[in-house]
Structure 1
């Protein structure tokens, strides 16, 4: 079905806006680093980043939506500035359980839940597991099962060797030695349709974040463990699979995909939207894997249409 775009007045996109302030918080018994966006409205928005990302991936979209909902962007355990608890195993299920606890700790209010990439898969499973906690669901290039062997999905060709039993350890050491500037370049080329259009401040922020991660002992294990956990989740069949969970979602849902997404093929978009009972699909031309960063105003207008329709119990 067609997705309408809200005509609400939105602030101009400001590429110089710094990341929203953050702090460690305990919500639902979970200790995470959280960035909060001030906003109006009774229903909070909760933003969940993807693999290798952080709460800063939502700076611009949260700004666009701040006039309509207070925001809460989380750093998942082992990402951003969230120190993982002892024994955290980085499976997709562990991330889902963490998110459900956080949602349950928000005064019992159902939220507008938004996720990108791995965060989209986490949000999908959380919405299926705890439908009473989710008012609406927005999935941006969610990491649904996609096992196609495509070298374009790798930011570095050596990643394919990094998981091998003997050679992998040496390859991982080599990958760890990549400079923050080079990591940033790889990320931009992999995630954005046109990296040259990314504002200089956002590039500098990404480079600073990679430099910060280089000093975190848990950053690489978190990335490796979550990558393995995500791929293993794609192999799960039966009631715990992502495709079997999708039909249990009751929240009105918006699925957004870019036609130039190198990581998650846009060919998965129609199946994803069909699998969720009350979902609509928005495909954006000339957009890559992180539509909320590449086209924050367009995404915001689609999200506001979802929110307003849900408030009237129609979507």
Structure 2
């Protein structure tokens, strides 16, 4: 079995390759069973509670993949990432293990790529102002991901710890981005953004619907359980809402809250990422409309990324 460390896993996953690969994967067919979710509590300390996800998928191309991902929100206070993952790729016809890959890189890159894929259908064609909420591994990749599908030339970042936002903005500037920290005025930053992308582990809403400008696109990719939420219920009122997979309607606290409040009906969701990629549902239909993309992640995205990594070994 081959082993791909962080650098070897990341190398083939540039967004110019990964976003089109995800688009092709969602347009095609694959087997993606529901994820297994387990709560972890050790020692009775709330700060050490976590969630384990087990996410399998396989395709007619002959690959089977299983990702194990551990999410511990309390890690931020320890100076540790909140997410750790491993990925194992197998031959789907024999079950033979092919490779162990860095699941953190796969998760972060495929999540950012799915965010950009959603925006390719839902953000205005001239969207250039990106606001990122969060400073974690996924958040750091969002400017590059969105710039692969939209003419992003201004990036702002907000974090509940302002020093974290300042540090990330400085890092982005060193990479050539026109980037600034949003400071403490999140409302002003949201009102000024063409795309608002949330990549946090928040359990209380951060973005308010009244702040979203006409024509804005709200991208919610951080929360993935009923207890997590990044947007208030008004964010879904009068918007066209899309989801990555039907599972989002059971897993996303943002959506569950909005449905309970009556600002969103489950049957009023405009479509899934697969329907957008297949062309069976329209994306944005006007420059003034507000759009929302809510993603909880799919094992199909992981499998697509891992397949790119595996195939790159034969064509370096």
Confirm or deny a common fold (TM above 0.5).
no
Higher RCO (C-alpha 8 Å, min separation 6): 1
Higher-strand-fraction structure: 2
Q: TM-score if structure 2 supplies the norm length?
A: 0.30
Q: TM-score if structure 1 supplies the norm length?
A: 0.30
Higher-helix-fraction structure: 1
